Chain A
Amino acid sequence: MTHDFNASPQVDEQETAFSESRRGFLKLAALTGAVVSTASSHALAAGDIGFLAKDLSDDKLTDMYRTILRIRWHERTQADQMLTNPDYRGYNHFYAGQEAVATGVCAALRNDGPFKQIDLVYSSHRPSGHAIAKGVDIPKMVAEMDFRATGMNGGYGAEMHISDPSVGFIGADGMIGPAPVIASGSAFAFRARKSDQVAVVFAGDGNYAAPHFHSTLNNAKMLNLPLIYVCENNLYHQYAHYSYSCPHKDIADAAGAYGIETAIVDGQDVIQVYNAAKAAVDRARAGQGPTFIEAKTYRYYNHWGAPGAKAGELGAFGYDPLAITSFRPEREVRAWMQRDPVDISRKILVDWGVLDDSRAAEIETEIKAEIADAFEWGLSQPLCTPEDGLRHVFAEGTVPARQFG
């Protein structure tokens, strides 16, 4: 089910138009999405028609639209807090622009039920979208990100470490590398205990260069594990374009070399992502092993925080002071924003007669209010008690204070 959307002739013309190869690659990547939507040279394939998603109920499709909006308005509201509220201390590695990936994947998973039956998601240091799509309590997540005692993790973890196992969200990991390998261990346990659960890991393009990437795929294939590796290729790891660390245009090519089933999808289109994820989940549950999904996507904000963003406006533009030698051209950001996952999902649902424009707008208003309430609740929660820092080191008790001699 590999969907090669660099096969279109338009792409080759674009590629030859740029003399310096990395530059061309970069621009090509920015154009990739547009090419997908206009290419008509290939037959209808998995990604282009409703396929698996067309059988979903109107309610399920509408829920996916709601999830995309929840992520989007969480990110926008938090960015505005960071930019306008001097008392707000939270931060994020913003997920805006990538909403369709988390939403499409998690819509194909089992998210409700006893812990030993639901599917598990391992996230990255860019976790808010994955968390929301997996079904965490958003007000508690908002509280956690602002270090509140009643937050999802009691204020201990904050953004890079959010976790809620009760919905199968094993959680974020601030490090590049370990999560995929650990996720393969969960998949190993599922197979060993004859469960039909699947383990999903979301990791960025930067993970490719880490040895963990290769260890994960090799072992997942060797042991035929029910693992879905979702590579969110948003083109940048930290501040560097992925061409600095990966020789492949499609990272899925590397996964293919391990003998793993691969799919490349337009990460801005939730239906395409869902189709690939559903097929992968079905294969994993049937004992047919791992799948590697590369979602071509883009983040609207810089690597970390909100430099370059303005309150009330979506996205961050211009020079990121943290980037120094490698930064994103503003036109690249704007080109990707033309293929916005919120707009695309809305248009599909309207085209399919699931919603009309006014109902779609109403839903967005409802979600905005829901997120505003989540922030109001989260930011009114109590701060942590300093001494509690000595708890949760071991299952029981506290460790001694040592900072006073």
Chain B
Amino acid sequence: MVQKSWMYSVLEAVHYEMKQDPAMTWIFELTPPVASTPGKPVINLETEFGRERVVNTGIDENWMASAVLGAGLAGSKSATYIPYQGALMPLQVIQNVAGKLRHKTGGLAEMPVVWIIEMTGQTPGFGQQHSCYEEDSYYMHIPGVRTVIPSTPYDAKGMMHAALRSPDPVVYLYPAGLRTLTEEVPDEPYEVPLDKAAVRMEGNDLTIVSSGAGMPGVLEAAEVLTGEGMSVEVIDLRCLKEMDTDTIVTSVAKTKRLLTVDQSYYTLAPGAEVIARAAENVEGARFKRVAFPDAPPPASPEMFTWMRPNAEGIAGAARALV
């Protein structure tokens, strides 16, 4: 199998679905749908499918988000790539229209649409508006919209196939900091389900639950802790709505200790929901949360890198819990 980058894996899925379905459309504004990986053909959706189906818009995320919904309602599978600068501009149409549409039409509305919403939070120096990592909490709160956040190129491709084939509207969060990841990814289409967490490491002493851009730091910390003799179970949520409660509860019932890790702000970060579900279902467990403080990310790299959860902080919190 060929090593593929994140974006190559995602666009490979999109490319396949667009070839299968001549009605499918793609809208972008800043990030051209272009990806390459050594030993594979360059993917360029714009040149391959033309500007009738693949549209480069102005800086108008409200239109992008609404247009794919309209395309979906008209029976065309449709996806858009919203860069992190405009990641919450689509909130209104997703929250107050798409999320409620199936319900309010008594099940009549079909919405084969995907909003790929880029998140950042990785780059020191850009400051408040370009370093934030907070969209997970906002979007996962909305009923009627599936919100997923793959953390590996393999899952990114499989979840993109699943999202594009799903009759439900999907917010597909893309933590831009993971764009440098590569791994072996099959050329063939395959689906990764939109409602299952992944157990990345098995252990008995402690469960660590994270998602998206939190995962690399968690895996690094887990390796350090394993070296110290701790038996760590690591769960990658992958799906924020609907959240895979069973996998969380099964693990915490075994370890009785749960540490959640989020790059998002502490209040209502995904980990808060994870702990609530574990607490409801497991007797006698202990909990701890690592998250970005309830402060906007400052530009100063000194401040920002201290505030962002990292492997060292995660390992410290794990030791305190076990």
Q: Using a CB–CB distance below 8 Å, which chain B residues touch chain A?
A: 30, 32, 34, 46, 56-60, 62-63, 85-86, 89, 125-130, 259, 266, 288-296, 298-310, 313-314, 316-318, 320-321
Bound: A403/B316 CA distance, A: 10
Besides A389-B307, A403-B310, 12 other A-B contacts (C-beta < 8 A): A155-B299, A156-B128, A156-B298, A157-B299, A174-B130, A383-B302, A386-B303, A389-B303, A402-B290, A403-B308, A403-B313, A405-B320
Question: Are B125's CB and A91's CB within 8 A?
Answer: yes
Question: Are A389's CB and B306's CB within 8 A?
Answer: yes
Is A207 part of the binding interface, using a Cβ–Cβ cutoff of 8 Å? yes
Question: Are B58's CB and A210's CB within 8 A?
Answer: yes
Question: Could you say which of B290, B303, B308 contacts A388, with CB atoms under 8 Å apart?
Answer: B303
Q: Which B residues touch A149, using CB under 8 A?
A: 300
Question: Are B58's CB and A383's CB within 8 A?
Answer: no
Q: Which A residues touch B295, using CB under 8 A?
A: 389-390, 393, 399
Bound: A405/B289 CA distance, A: 5
Bound: A55/B8 CA distance, A: 61
Bound: A177/B62 CA distance, A: 11
User: 3 tightest A-B contacts by CB?
Assistant: A209-B58, A405-B317, A245-B58
Question: Could you say which of B58, B266, B316 contacts A206, with CB atoms under 8 Å apart?
Answer: B58
Bound: A383/B306 CA distance, A: 13
Question: Are B292's CB and A402's CB within 8 A?
Answer: yes
Question: Given A174-B127, A402-B291, is A147 in contact with B299 using a C-beta cutoff of 8 Å?
Answer: yes
Is A400 part of the binding interface, using a Cβ–Cβ cutoff of 8 Å? yes
Question: Could you say which of A176, A325, A389 contacts B304, with CB atoms under 8 Å apart?
Answer: A389
Question: Given A89-B301, A160-B130, A389-B304, is A402 in contact with B289 using a C-beta cutoff of 8 Å?
Answer: yes
The residue in chain A whose Cβ has the minimal distance to the Cβ of B299 is A158
Q: Which A residues touch B46, using CB under 8 A?
A: 325
Is A189 part of the binding interface, using a Cβ–Cβ cutoff of 8 Å? no
5 pairs, A vs B, C-beta closer than 8 Å: A210-B59, A244-B56, A399-B295, A404-B313, A404-B316
Question: Are A211's CB and B62's CB within 8 A?
Answer: yes
Q: Of A147, A209, A388, A402, which is in contact with the most chain B CB atoms at under 10 Å from its CB?
A: A402
The residue in chain B whose Cβ has the minimal distance to the Cβ of A393 is B295
Question: Are B59's CB and A209's CB within 8 A?
Answer: yes
Is A246 part of the binding interface, using a Cβ–Cβ cutoff of 8 Å? yes
Q: Which B residues touch A384, using CB under 8 A?
A: 298, 300, 302-303
